[in-house]
Amino acid sequence: MSDDCQALAGTGVTPRAGVGTVVWYAPDTELPEPPEGGVDADEERQRFADARAAAKTELERERDRVAESVGEEEAAVFDAHVQFVDDSQIEAAVHDAVDDGLPAPNAVHEAFADHIERFEGMDGRMAERADDLRDVRDRLVRLLTDGERVDLASLPEGSVVLAERLTPSDTAQLDPERVAGFATATGGRTSHAAIFARSLALPAVVGVGDALPDVPEGADVLVDGDEGELVVSPTDEERERAAAEDLAEVRPDPVSTADGREIEVAANVGRPAEVEPAADRGADGIGLYRTEFLFLDRESPPGEDVQHEAYVEALDAFPDGRVVVRTLDIGGDKRIPYLDLPEEENPFLGERGIRRSLDPDADLFETQLRALLRAAADGDGDLAVMFPLVATVEELEAALANVNEVAAALDDEGVAHARPELGVMIETPSAVFVADALAARVDFLSIGTNDLAQYVMAAARENDRVADLHDPLHPGVLRAIRRTVEAGHEGDAWVGMCGEMAGDPDVTALLVGLGLDELSMSAVTVPDVKANVATADTDVAAGLAETALAADTRTDVLDNLSDRS
């Protein structure tokens, strides 16, 4: 290390490294001076109402853009931001501040202050939710002051963005083709900036702390998202080593544990542009192909041929692998403007997933099944199709009957088709309890830990007040996973996992021990997970799993994992 070289420690959130030139990002949220004579309260309240409407329009537009460019799951954060904009407590606080003589921008800043401070005083993921509030606050203030938004999408090529913090709106603007990485003083692995970084495969280090502001604009830095370091003025040797380590991580062939048990490591895909990078990062196939992107940014649903072409393209990218396509999963936090989706008091417990496919969207379901069965015959890879949010055996049997009817219709028409593997997403406690009956009727089960944790823990995924409960390492969720794996194997079905948990290298050994046959994740984490699978011993991993399953608390589970690492 040279005399000028300095390594700043933080939390790495992507197993990638990047070298570039520092660009500091510090958004301006300057507030006007309150007038001495007070304000016209009615006028300021109207300005606030107009800003709220404009903010919602911006958020809806950004949500659609992020769903297309990053993924549907990541875009859901903007739905939560809309809820903050509409929050009645914040509205009342703004009105009170206006009545006390503050202009609308100042009133907004004051109204959010207590909420932000309260979240910052909490632990873990709850503290990171303060950034969501800042994001909404700063958007409203910008709209009220006619401020200009910094365009992070057009930074010079090779930029490394440094900031006190990056909000979801900030991170969503970053172009992986231009930005070599980013580092922030605050934040953790579960912050939205970190999640976006993994989806975009951007090298990133968060939580660097008070030393970060000492790094000057224009400095050369290395962002090591694997080691969790920001290296200032890296040596040529360090640059070469980082580049070599990043390339060496990719394992193009399937992997087995140290004692010979093969485990499929696949990628989650939410848009066509993610297929090729998934193959480049060594994914064995696609374990979750989200079809919602085909229905976005359109005025009407995509036709059979459009869908067929997209599915064949994915299959051709993995000629020796498997592509698991999830049928249309809308409702809850996933909305498509041209479909007649009901306004529900609790949409996560309402009409979504397979429930819509079997009733109001039956025509869309038939079209999608036709495209899928045709693609199974025409594509190079092996197609598997899974149904989302199945809660009952009756729902599964109805879906399977639809597949049979579509196959019979294609036969009558003389259209080439094939029957793919069929499976069920395990996302509800009900599905866990009847997993044996489900497995007896399908080829595979795939555990969606994001929703499963939500329903097992009765903790909404986008409700920041219960964010700590939304963790698959809680004993109740782990036991649901084990029960599903055992039921699947007893029914001769293979069992996979396609939630965020599958892509966490720190729990790979635990998942091996729980008996999973397949793990699917953001493509950027595929090499790390493959490396950990290759070094795992199934007997040792099984012991780790048994200890975790016997734990009474999440803290006990985390302590046990830490002791074994």
Active site residues: 192, 498
Q: Residue 238's Cα: distance from chain center in Å? A: 31
The span from the CA of 532 to the CA of 416, in Å, is: 41
Contact 318, 274 (CB under 8 A): no
Q: How far apart are CA 393 and CA 398, in angstroms?
A: 9
Distances, alpha carbon 169 to alpha carbons 132, 148, 152, 180, 221, in Å: 9, 14, 10, 18, 24
Question: Rounded distance, CA 244 to CA 223, Å?
Answer: 14
Alpha helices in 320-448 (DSSP H): 354-357, 362-378, 393-413, 429-433, 435-439
Strands 421-426 and 444-447, bridge-based pairing: parallel
Q: Strand, coil or helix: what is 104? A: helix
Whether the CB-CB separation of 249 and 201 falls below 8 Å is answered with: no
Residue 563 tokens read as 């002791």
Q: Concatenated DSSP letters for 428-459?
A: SHHHHHTHHHHHTTSSEEEE-HHHHHHHHTT-
Q: Distance (Å, rounded) from C-alpha 60 to C-alpha 56? A: 6
Residue keyed to tokens 């374990």? 287
In whole angstroms, what is the distance from residue 521 CA to residue 536 CA?
18
Helix axes 449-456, 475-490, angle to 10 degrees: 120
- Give residues with Cβ within 8 angstroms of 13, minimum separation 6: 189, 194, 197, 198, 204, 205, 206, 225
- Nearest 10 degrees: Cα torsion 29, 35, 40, 46: -10
Give the contacts of 401 (CB within 8 A, at least 6 positions apart). Answer: none
Q: If residue 17 lies in a helix (H) or strand (E), which one and from where to where?
A: strand 17-24
Cβ neighbours of 506 (radius 10 Å): 14
The DSSP bridge pattern shows strands 220-224 and 229-232 to be antiparallel
